[in-house]
Amino acid sequence: MARLYEYQGKALLAEHGLEVPEGGVVSSPAEAARLAARLGGAVVLKAQAWITGRAAKGGVKFASSPEEAQRAAADLIRLRFGNFPVTEVLLERAVVIAHELFVSVIIDDQARAPVLLLDARGGSDIEERAGSIRRIPIDPRRGIDGDRVRQVIGDSPIDRAVHQKIARAVETVIEMAALYELTSIEVNPLVVTAGGGVVAVDCRMTVDDYAVFRHPALGIEIARELDHPATELERIAYRLEQADHRGTFYFARLTTAAAPDSRGLIGFHGAGGGGSMMSMDAVARVGFTPANFCDTSGNPSAAKVYRAARVILAQGGLVGYFGSGSGVASQEQHHSAYGLAKAFCELSLAIPAVIRLGGNGEDRAVEILEDACRGLPGRVEGYRKDDTPAFIADRFAELVQGADGATWTPRARSVPAYVGRSYRFPIKGGMVWIDHERCDRPTTAFVIEHASALLRAEDGLPVLGVRDAEVAAKDSELLALEVDCRRADRPVVFVDLAIPGLD
């Protein structure tokens, strides 16, 4: 689920009438000092990161002067929580708290409905007091029973003068959960101040990934559950996924450096969630560290698999490329074989690759992959569903060991010399080039025979044989034609699928 930073959530709360502490986001110690001076008095500084228990991990600091705020911000910006580097700090005027409450709305999977979690005692140790939290169902059509909310508030020692304010704040949280299609929203604590105000001091929000496109105002760049700010490669991969809905393409960066006792970083390419996780375990068991997690499943196009492989190989320091998924996927495996073969050949892969292509048409897929990649600097081997992830992981380890410490350095793809000066026609997301100068009659006949009825002969040369609209979405068929021409030693077709951000 996509997550919002605390400062983003608080901005939404403020828009909907719930009071939040005065302050702002800073990204440097100097900015912190200036903002603290403007606010005056005591301030609180909080590292912006998608974690829980932030205070216990050193992510919250207090300051009583601009100088202290500057030093505190410097300390916070140096922090890193796992894969999450802190680059922004929320600095706010400190609030004098008289009472704390816990307010949250979640989706109860068992009830298949939203539920309000409410406790008149909030704070950082709320997890240890789970038994005291009241669960109040929310009817998606009629809303919540306000009497039950008021009863929880009324049973607390909170001054009755602010009960109505608290009830209204709870209603606001519920309304926001529905309006923005949140899978969870937590305000902890919602505080009653010494002056009788009701203020949201902290908040966390997550949004249903499938609803993000309906709420551009939230500013979520990637509708994925990541444990770190999106990297540039993740942004590129997400844009590719959004542009092509044939199958799925999920990419997440895991690390840029292997542990000291690891046999090295590898590019990981799975197909099918459960099978991919099993395959990751298998390759980790033999000592490798996946630099990324990638999944192309749901019968992806060859073009989508090609682009996924290009993204994986945009990572440096890899000692190998390991591909393995469920092994019994219903998707046609030759699509994956063609996409991988094009990427490996275009980049002249120089590290070992082991690819398990189990599923429909696996024999053909293995033949395509190995035949097309024969002669590359790195050895490429294909395997079938009867070859277990453990078996191919062991084989992968043998190939890496035999590669004498070779590591991958990202490189520009190779583009034929005839690109830019030969016959061409556009397709969605790219351009197809055909080298007419090298198309003798046997080559033309071969190209047309393998072109899925998309090309015809004109004056003895292959040209587009269907309307532009018909060929626009045929990138995978034409990609397969390019690979088949390469396999037949007739490299006269090139499908230019440039990737913005990589090419």
What is the pLDDT, as a whole number, of residue 332?
A: 85
Q: What is the pTM of this model?
A: 0.85
Q: Is the pLDDT of residue 327 over 70?
A: no
Measured at the CA of 188, the angle between CA 186 and CA 192, to 5 degrees, comes to: 130
Extended beta strands in 380-480, E state: 380-383, 423-427, 430-434, 455-458, 461-464
Q: In this structure, is the dihedral angle defined by the CA atoms of residues 311, 313, 319 and 320, taken in order, positive or negative? A: positive
**pLDDT greater than 80 at residue 293:** yes
Segment (H or E) for 327? none
Mean pLDDT of 176-204: 95
> What is the C-alpha to C-alpha distance for residues 415 and 482, in angstroms, rounded to an integer?
12
Question: Per-residue pLDDT averaged across 481-496, rounded?
Answer: 98
Q: What pLDDT is recorded for position 343?
A: 98
Structure confidence at residue 224 (pLDDT): 79
CATH 3.40.50.261: which residues of the chain?
A: 232-402
- The Cα–Cα gap between 501 and 503 comes to 6
Domain 97-218 belongs to what architecture?
2-Layer Sandwich (3.30)
What pLDDT band is residue 123 in, cutting at 50, 70 and 90? Answer: low
Residue 496: pLDDT band (50, 70, 90) is very high
Task: Please give the average per-residue pLDDT across 332-343, as a whole number.
Answer: 95
The confidence score (pLDDT) of residue 111 equals: 79
Rounded mean pLDDT, 104-109: 92
Q: Which of 99, 13, 3 is nearest to 52 (CA)?
A: 3
Tell me how far CA of residue 205 lies from CA of 182, 187, 282, in angstroms.
7, 9, 35
Alpha-carbon gap, residue 300 to 411, rounded angstroms: 25
| pLDDT above 80 (res 129) | no
pLDDT in tens, 409-428: 999 999 999 999 999 999 99
Range list for CATH 3.30.470.20 in the chain: 97-218
Quick one: pLDDT at residue 124? 61
Q: State the average pLDDT over residues 398-404.
A: 96
Confidence of residue 329 (pLDDT cuts 50, 70, 90): low
Say whether pLDDT at 126 is over 70. Answer: no
CATH class of 423-496: alpha beta
Architecture of the domain made up of 232-402: 3-Layer(aba) Sandwich (3.40)
- Per mean pLDDT, which range of 317-331, 378-392, 452-466, 485-499 is the poorest? 317-331
The CATH fold assigned to 22-93 is: Dna Ligase; domain 1 (3.30.1490)
Place of tokens 């004109």: 458
Residue 255 carries which DSSP code? -
- Render pLDDT for 259-269 as a digit per residue (tens, 0 to 9): 889 999 999 99
